[in-house]
Structure 1
Amino acid sequence: MAGGSSQPGRTVTARALAVLFAFDEDHSHLSLSEIARRAGLPLTTAHRIVGELEQAQALERLEDGVYVVGRRMWQLGLLAPTHRELRESSLPFMEDLYAATGENVHLAVREGTSALYVERLHGRRSVPLVSRAGVRLPLHATGVGKVLLAHAPADVVREVLAQPERITGHTITEAGRLQRELAAVRRNGYASTAEEMTLGTCSVAVPVRGSGGEVGAALGVVGTTTRRGLLALLPALRVAAAAITRATGEPPRPAS
């Protein structure tokens, strides 16, 4: 089997998964050579596996020759029960919040040291953002992320604060300042950001709690810095978060 001698013990399944896992939010369009390099496979092996995945509609080849994740993988991802149930239960309340504000509405959960966006609602009046369902963004630079980080285990907080990435000139990267912000999030029950993830935007977010008070998700809105009064949306955010908790029973437990 191609590549077997250079990577002994690597099964066919492991190689196919390596090809699929070569794609992420920063690498959504890959050439065959890029797939091979990121998967750690010989080009001939990658070519064979990619061809099989393309036939199965797990990958799709575009006109310019690059590959993207295919329709079947997207459909499979929608079957993940925890996030699907959370998304479906939350959507009516997120839609109400969007109708009332016209701003981007986000729902996120923590996965490791990232905020995983479960759903995003937006419209023509909403400011363009990098976030969308399925994308992971840094915990320390987003409103929903700060809420999740404020309630994360101590080892997760230490890992994030050890080397936070500066994304814009406004991103807070000083560990002491971040710790004070997280304490304020726990004390006040909300987080806010100003141009820390994307220039020209600000956000406010609140926790979605379980019946025992634990935080399993975060709900937030994002608008432009020229639009004042996002903090005035806190009552509506809190009502929506409480409604989501009642609808879901329990938000998902964060992935370590």
Structure 2
Amino acid sequence: MSTTPAAQELDPRSVLAKVMAVLHAFAVDDRSVSLAELARRTQLPKGTLHRVCSDLVTARLLDRASDGYRLGGHLFELGMRASVERGLVDVATPFMEDLYELTHETVHLGVREAAEVMYVAKIGGHRQAPSPSRVGGRLPLHCTAIGKILLAHAPAGLVDEYLSRPLERRTPRTVIAPGLLRQQLTQVRETGLAFEYEESAVGIVCVAAPVLDVEHGVAAALSVTGPVTRFDPRRHANAVRAAAAGVQTTLARQAALRED
């Protein structure tokens, strides 16, 4: 059975572990996946897999397609009920829209999920630069501006563990030297800004700023991404910082009202 972050600590013999294996077997670009391919990805016996898929269809977590299965719409409904991300996106969206109107470039909101960036919102127009990011998708922390913000403010133990392992080189400009990356993280903490120059994908550059929570940890990070041919991230650094501060202030105000 395939191991996924959500299923690694589950008993692999449990029904829940099998359900998680099936759901996580779907890749971001999959429209539908055949039963045979799901069996290959999950390593579940076909009889067991068929029963699990049938139950997931009944629960509306999977839909039957002409050539296999696809993720069901009920998963989207459940995802929208995730309280932390939903509240964060609701607050951040007006500030993201303002950033888009100012820059006409792609605006992202991301949070740290274990050792990766998870993108929870994205706004881009007709001319947005090709980017590996997508809502619900993940990227390594070390090669994106949002990721550097989140890693710079992560617990020291997680940073040490992250820098102790081999880092993925996604482009020729990806920083994979632990010492150099640690220097960048120190600068991120000092300036409150992080930059990416063609490190996650060739041709794009980015600037990000942190959204602090009420205890001055980092709840999320906000960024603007554009093509290297027309976008100067340093020119828009103050606007990104101001937008992130606006999200932070609004979240703090809402938290204070809940406590009253």
Same fold (TM over 0.5): yes
Which of 79, 98, 101 is matched with 2:100 structurally?
98
Contact 2:149 2:193 in 1 (8 A): yes
Deviation of 1:248 after TM superposition, in Å, equals 1.6
Q: Return the alpha-carbon distance in structure 2 between the equivalents of residues 246 and 223 of structure 1.
A: 26
Distance change in 2, residues 1:250/1:11 (3 Å): farther
Contact 2:195 2:233 in 1 (8 A): no
Distance change in 2, residues 1:25/1:102 (3 Å): same
Partner of 1:4: none
Q: Return the alpha-carbon distance in structure 1 between the equivalents of residues 253 and 62 of structure 2.
A: 34
2:86 equivalent to 1:116: no
Distance change in 2, residues 1:28/1:110 (3 Å): farther
Which of 191, 195, 201 is matched with 1:192 structurally?
195
Q: How does 1:1-256 map to 2 (within 5 A)?
A: 10-25=13-28, 29-63=32-66, 65-161=67-163, 162-249=165-252
Q: Return the alpha-carbon distance in structure 2 between the equivalents of residues 178 and 223 of structure 1.
A: 22
1:152-196: CA deviations, max 9, x gaps? 112221232221101111111111111111111112211101111
The worse-fitting range, judged by mean Cα deviation, of 209-218 and 183-192 is 209-218
Give 5+ residue unaligned stretches, structure 1: 1-7, 252-256
Q: Return the alpha-carbon distance in structure 1 between the equivalents of residues 17 and 168 of structure 2.
A: 31
Partner of 2:258: none
- Give the alignment's Cα RMSD to 1 decimal: 2.1
Give 1:177's aligned amino acid.
L
Contact 1:168 1:195 in 2 (8 A): yes
Q: Give the number of equivalent residue pairs.
A: 243
The worse-fitting range, judged by mean Cα deviation, of 136-145 and 179-188 is 179-188
Contact 1:140 1:160 in 2 (8 A): no
The worse-fitting range, judged by mean Cα deviation, of 23-32 and 183-192 is 23-32
Give 2:115's aligned amino acid.
T
Q: Return the alpha-carbon distance in structure 2 between the equivalents of residues 250 and 41 of structure 1.
A: 49
TM-score using structure 1 length: 0.87
Deviation of 1:17 after TM superposition, in Å, equals 3.0
Q: Return the alpha-carbon distance in structure 1 between the equivalents of residues 225 and 231 of structure 2.
A: 11
Q: Return the alpha-carbon distance in structure 2 between the equivalents of residues 193 and 29 of structure 1.
A: 34
Deviation of 1:57 after TM superposition, in Å, equals 2.6
Contact 1:25 1:136 in 2 (8 A): no
Contact 1:204 1:220 in 2 (8 A): yes
